[in-house]
Amino acid sequence: MRLQQFCRLMSVLLLAAGLAAAQNTITFEAPGAGTAAGQGTLVEGVDLLGTTFGYYTDGNSVAHGFLRAWNGYFVTFSAPGAGAGAGQGTFAFSLNPEGTITGYYIDGNGAMHGYLRNFFGNFTTFDAPGAGNGAGQGTLSLNINLEGTIGGYDFDSSGVAHAFLRAENDSFITFEASGAGTSAGQGTGTASGIGLNAEGTITGAYIDSNNTLHGYVRAPDGTITSFDAPGAGNGAGQGTDTDGLNFAGIIPGVYVDSNNVVHGFVRALDGTFTEFDVPGAGNGAGQGTTPQGLNAEGAITGSYTDSNSVSHGFVRSPLGAITTFEAPGAGTRTGQGTFPLLNNPAGAITGYEIDSAGVYHGFLRSPMGR
């Protein structure tokens, strides 16, 4: 509890410092990142100290994990057993305050396996109970909290998704949201990166038998509450998806309406919804507003897709004010642009941009000027 209170105090102090400084955005490449279309550096998050993390794809389209310190120093890594073919390798998604990072790797047969890498560089690999071992099957480790608990989901041998929590002692709890479908491509998943908070509450979405998405939140006692954002469509590929939650239980997410337009929402702890659209977001199918990250103060970052299907970054304050931005060098054609994924309590935002040649580059938008 003391550590948690300290972290919250640090969050407030860092936020105050960030509000007083101008924003600065830099782009960067992980060592060894490929330079062809579809290759490059994909940043998944940033911690309190400004450490960014994620993965890059090399010139052979093989993925490798990385950590980048605030001063630009890189550590790259590959999980034991990771495949060396195109589309295989190591993918990193979540970093806790102790410096332990988790994600999954794809082996030479195309199956996925979870891993964690501690501060000293030691790996532990694991598979969720019931995970399949064929191509496109296996374990997706997507979240790690301060206690070392890992959250994610797996695909079984039939291609059905099941959510799990893994404790530090390698014991597993698996669970299904009520109403989750039981056919290939259906089932229960979790949000990525910030889907599991320090208290052990986890959020995600499930896909029902009609292939519609619904949000859920699971309390530490195992109680699962399902929800749908107002305005969410109920057709295949429509519905409600969540992006994570903070210590206060606030959940950002997206919903796809009956016209397949994407909108953002915030769900408060009491279940109240606030919907929002970024000015300039397109209103065609596949266009709209896509929240991604939420920090301790309730600021949300993400991207919006305009009427030309070009993506741009935004940050929404806890009071609802929206600021838009572009990463340097972001492309301006369909499918290109700026894609923020996570923000820290100091107001730093990280993600990736896709340039005019289709290459991925990491970016960090920081009030610290780092």
Cα–Cα distance for residue pair 309/307, rounded to 1 Å: 5
Cα–Cα distance for residue pair 151/203, rounded to 1 Å: 9
Q: Report the percentage of the chain scoring pLDDT > 90.
A: 92
pLDDT tens-digit map of 171-208: 999 999 999 999 999 999 999 999 999 999 999 999 99
pLDDT tens-digit map of 53-104: 999 999 999 999 999 999 999 999 999 999 999 999 999 999 999 999 999 9
User: Cβ(137)–Cβ(111) under 8 Å?
Assistant: yes
Cα–Cα distance for residue pair 122/187, rounded to 1 Å: 32
- Model pTM above 0.85: yes
User: pLDDT at position 3, please?
Assistant: 39
72: phi > 0 → left, psi -120 to 50 → alpha, else beta; which?
left
Instruction: Please list the ranges in the chain whose pLDDT falls under 50.
Output: 1-21, 369-370
User: pLDDT at position 339, please?
Assistant: 98
User: Cβ(351)–Cβ(338) under 8 Å?
Assistant: yes
Give φ, ψ of 94 to 5 degrees.
Answer: -150, 140
User: pLDDT at position 202, please?
Assistant: 98
Cα–Cα distance for residue pair 142/164, rounded to 1 Å: 10
